[in-house]
Amino acid sequence: MPKGSLTCVGTGMLLAGQVTQEALSTMESAEKLFFLVHDSVTQEWLRELNPSAESLYDSYGEGRDRSETYAEMAQRILAPVREGKRVCAAFYGHPGVFVQPSHDAIAKARAEGHEARMLPGISSEDCLFADLGVDPGTRGCQSFEATDFLLRRRRFDPRSMLVLWQVGAIGIRDFRKSELWNRDGVEVLASVLLKTYPPEYEVIIYEATPYPVCKPVIHHVALAELGQAPITLRTTLCVPPLPDRKSDEAMARRLGLR
């Protein structure tokens, strides 16, 4: 089998404005470019950037299990790699954050003896820290996919910030074209969080903006009203931390702190 190469890159969340120079040059020079982005403007930009550009979006199908879709995407990406070509796969945001096809394609390419790597990109979480003005280093940050958070009963510290992803698709395995896949799932999430936080506790509904002329979506709502909040598939839920606990005095002495 000829030795090809694969590089997975991220286009960021804001059109072409958040693409790194390394990712840009990789997309330009690729013999075959695949992409999966959420807006038509970025699609056209990628096609102008590299005439070989091909969208992976048509692998989705109404009612089709997303695991099957992701497996198909990985195989489509690998096909020209196996022919010995330099292949680039571009995904919006960070190519390693909630992007199963990139991880699968890289693992299989390496197992077959091809060179494969991933370049970092700006994710929705990076935009969240900037747009909400929060520092994950101050009180810590816990990040979970919403369905996994509920199914596995993930333990978390409410004294640190809690970030939950894909709250608009809780419990849904197949692909759908609607803006919100499961309103009932949001209600279930709210009921679980209400065991830790009071009903009036203010949480933040967040969506990074893909357009320079538009502001990000930021809604502050009471936790008890989360089920009726304007949530879409792009929504990330940010739960600010409860008041901090006191420092451990014995530990402070061990660390030499006053």
- What is the set of active-site residues? 66, 70, 92
Q: Which of 35, 104, 31, 119 is nearest to 74 (CA)?
A: 104
What is the rounded distance in angstroms from the CA atom of residue 218 to the CA atom of residue 96? 25
Annotate 35-61 with b (16+ C-beta within 10 A) or e (fewer).
bbbeeeebbebbeebbeebbebeebbe
Q: Do residues 46 and 92 touch, judged by C-beta distance below 8 A?
A: no
Residue 76's Cβ-count burial label (10 Å; 0-12, 13-18, 19+) is middle
Residues 6+ apart with CB under 8 A from 258: 252
Q: Which residues pair with 33 in a beta bridge?
A: 88
Q: What is the torsion angle, in degrees rounded to the nearest 10, for the CA atoms of residue 207, residue 209, residue 214 and residue 220? A: 20
Name the pairing type of β-strands 202-207 and 217-222: antiparallel
Tokens 């091909």, residue?
Answer: 54
What is the rounded distance in angstroms from the CA atom of residue 161 to the CA atom of residue 132? 12
What is the rounded distance in angstroms from the CA atom of residue 195 to the CA atom of residue 258? 36
Tokens 């009071």, residue?
Answer: 198
Helix (H, G, I), strand (E, B) or coil at 106: helix
Name the pairing type of β-strands 115-118 and 202-207: unpaired
